[in-house]
C-alpha cells in the first residue's frame, strides 16, 4: 500500500497511518491513502466545480486570462506541492488541503466575503465556510467526512489583513503551513498580473527595490519566493527530532513580499472595492439576502439547518458570480 512509501518521508511529515482520523470512521481503501481519498473527494465535489465561475479580484472581467478562484486554487496546489516535495513532506496531504482551502469563498471575491461578514450577525470568514462546506454542506448534507489533518489545514489557511506573512506555525501540520504560505505566494503574484491586465497599474509602478530582489516577471518572483522558502525551511527534512520545525521565508524576502502585498492593497484591492461593478455586486448580494430572509421557504431543500439567516448565508456563499447575478435579476422581476 501507499502508506509504506510514506515511511521514507521526513520525520516531521504527517503519515497516513498516523492520521487523527475522520469524524465518522470508515474502512481503509486498498489502493489510496486517506489523504489521497480526501483529495479525490474534494476534486469531485460540486463546490470545487463552482470555483471556475467565482471571482478572485476582478468582477466579470472582459478577458479570458483573468484568475478565477479555481485557477488560483490550482496555482496554490502546484506551488505547495513543489515545496512539500523538496522538503520531503506528505505531498498528498498538502495537495488535499490546497485543493479544498477556498471551497467556501463567496461570489464576487472578497467583496462578497466582506458583505456577508458585515450583514450576518454571526460573522463570516471564507476559511470557516470552507470547513463548513466539507463538513456539512456537500454531499446532500452529509459532508465529505475528511480527515482531521485536511480539515485543520483548510480552516487554518487564512491570514490576517495585516502582517500576514508573519508568525507561521499556527497550523496543526507542516503541510498546512506549506499551503498557507503558498496561498500568499500565488495571489500576490497573479493579482499583480491581473492588475496590469486591467490597466490599474503598469510593471513600472511596482516597488523597484522589491523587483530588483525578486524579479521582474511573475515566474521570476515565484521562483525566488519558493526557493527562499525551501532553503529557509530546509531543516524540516532533518531526520532528527527538532524542537520547532517550521515553514518560513528569510526576513528579507518576507519584507519584500509584504511590500508587494501592501502595494496591491493601496493600488488594486482598495481601488477595486469602490469601483462601479463592486458596488453593483454588493447590491446584488443585499437583494438576495433580504429576499431569502423574507421568503425562506424558497431556499433549496438541500440547504439544511434550523437558523434561517445561517441557511441564507450558506446559499449565497455557494453561488457563482453568474448565478448570483441571474437570480437577483429574476427575483427583481418576480417580487
Output the tens digit of pLDDT for each of the chain's 335 residues. 567 888 889 999 999 999 999 999 999 999 999 999 999 999 999 999 999 999 888 887 777 889 999 999 999 999 999 999 999 999 999 999 999 999 999 999 989 999 999 999 999 999 999 999 999 999 989 999 999 999 999 999 776 555 555 554 468 999 999 999 999 999 999 999 999 998 999 999 999 999 999 999 999 999 999 999 999 999 888 777 677 889 999 999 999 999 999 999 999 988 877 677 889 999 999 999 999 999 999 999 888 888 999 999 999 999 999 999 999 999 877 65
Q: Given this model, what pLDDT does residue 292 score?
A: 97
- Among 234, 235, 215, CA closest to 225: 215
Give the pLDDT of residue 305.
83
Q: What pLDDT is attached to residue 332?
A: 76
CA distance 327 to 323: 6
| H helical segments located in the chain | 2-5, 34-43, 46-50, 69-86, 91-100, 109-119, 126-132, 148-155, 174-197, 208-214, 218-232, 251-264, 270-273, 276-294, 308-318, 321-334
Q: What is the pLDDT of residue 91?
A: 97
Q: What is the pLDDT of residue 333?
A: 72
Rounded to an integer, what distance in angstroms lies between the CA atom of residue 87 and that of residue 248? 12
The full DSSP string for 299-322 is S-TTS--S-HHHHHHHHHHH--HH
Domains and CATH numbers, the chain: 2-106+121-278 (1.10.3210.10)
Nearest to 245 by CA among 164, 178, 150, 165: 178
pLDDT per residue as tens digits for the range 278-304: 899 999 999 999 999 999 999 998 888
**What three-state secondary structure class fits 240?**
coil
pLDDT tens-digit readout, 140-183 = 899 999 999 999 999 997 765 555 555 544 689 999 999 999 99
Centroid of chain to Cα 314: 17
Grid cell, residue 239, equals 531526520
* Residue 168, pLDDT score: 45
Cell numbers placing 286: 443585499
pLDDT of 139 reads 93
Residue with cell 479580484: 57
Amino acid at each position: 500500500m501507499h502508506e509504506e512509501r510514506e515511511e521514507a518521508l521526513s520525520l516531521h511529515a504527517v503519515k497516513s497511518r498516523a492520521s487523527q482520523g475522520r469524524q465518522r470512521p470508515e474502512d481503509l481503501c486498498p489502493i489510496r491513502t486517506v489523504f489521497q481519498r480526501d483529495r479525490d473527494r474534494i476534486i469531485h465535489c460540486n463546490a470545487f466545480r463552482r470555483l471556475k465561475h467565482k471571482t478572485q479580484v476582478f468582477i466579470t472581467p472582459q478577458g479570458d486570462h483573468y484568475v478565477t478562484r479555481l485557477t488560483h486554487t490550482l496555482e496554490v496546489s502546484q506551488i505547495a506541492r513543489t515545496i512539500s516535495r523538496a522538503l520531503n513532506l506528505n505531498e498528498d496531504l498538502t495537495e488535499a488541503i490546497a485543493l479544498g482551502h477556498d471551497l467556501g469563498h463567496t461570489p464576487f471575491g472578497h467583496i462578497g466575503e466582506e458583505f456577508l461578514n458585515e450583514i450576518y450577525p454571526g460573522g463570516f470568514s471564507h476559511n470557516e465556510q470552507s470547513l463548513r462546506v466539507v463538513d456539512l454542506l456537500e454531499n446532500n448534507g452529509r459532508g465529505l467526512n475528511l480527515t482531521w489533518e485536511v480539515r485543520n489545514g483548510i480552516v487554518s489557511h487564512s491570514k490576517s489583513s495585516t502582517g500576514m506573512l508573519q508568525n507561521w506555525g499556527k497550523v496543526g501540520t507542516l503541510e498546512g503551513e506549506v499551503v498557507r504560505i503558498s496561498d500568499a505566494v500565488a495571489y500576490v503574484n497573479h493579482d499583480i498580473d491581473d492588475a496590469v491586465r486591467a490597466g490599474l497599474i503598469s510593471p513600472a509602478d511596482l516597488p523597484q527595490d522589491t523587483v530588483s530582489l525578486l524579479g521582474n516577471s511573475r515566474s521570476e518572483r515565484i521562483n525566488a519566493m519558493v526557493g527562499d522558502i525551501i532553503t529557509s525551511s530546509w531543516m524540516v527534512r532533518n531526520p532528527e527530532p527538532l524542537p520547532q520545525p517550521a515553514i518560513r521565508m528569510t526576513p528579507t524576502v518576507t519584507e519584500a513580499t509584504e511590500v508587494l502585498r501592501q502595494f496591491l492593497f493601496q493600488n488594486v484591492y482598495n481601488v477595486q472595492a469602490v469601483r462601479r461593478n463592486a458596488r453593483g455586486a454588493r447590491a446584488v448580494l443585499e437583494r438576495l439576502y433580504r429576499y431569502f430572509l423574507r421568503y425562506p421557504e424558497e431556499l433549496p431543500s438541500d440547504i439544511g439547518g434550523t437558523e434561517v439567516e445561517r441557511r441564507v448565508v450558506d446559499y449565497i456563499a455557494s453561488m457563482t458570480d453568474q448565478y448570483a447575478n441571474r437570480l437577483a435579476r429574476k427575483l427583481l422581476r418576480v417580487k
